[in-house]
Amino acid sequence: MLEWLWAWKSELQHAYVFIVFLAALRWGGAPERILAGSFAAEALAHPFYHWFAHGSVFWHHLDLGHLAIDCTFFAIFFPVALQANRVYTLWIGSAQIIAMSAHVYRFSLTEINRMAYDMMAVSPSYIQLTALGLGLAFHMSRQKKLGSYPSWRNSFSPTQVVNPKLSRAV
Q: How many CA atoms lie within 13 A of 22 on its CB side?
A: 5
Report residue 123: phi and psi, to 5°.
Answer: -60, -30
AA letter at 39 = F
Residues of the chain short of pLDDT 70, as ranges, are 155-170
Q: Tell me the pLDDT tens digit for each residue of 75-114.
A: 999 999 999 999 999 999 999 999 999 888 888 877 777 7
Q: Model pTM greater than 0.75? A: yes
Q: What is the pLDDT of residue 39?
A: 96
3-state SS class at 37: helix
Q: What is the pLDDT of residue 164?
A: 54
Q: What is the pLDDT of residue 27?
A: 96
d(CA 154, CA 156): 7
Q: What is the pLDDT of residue 163?
A: 56
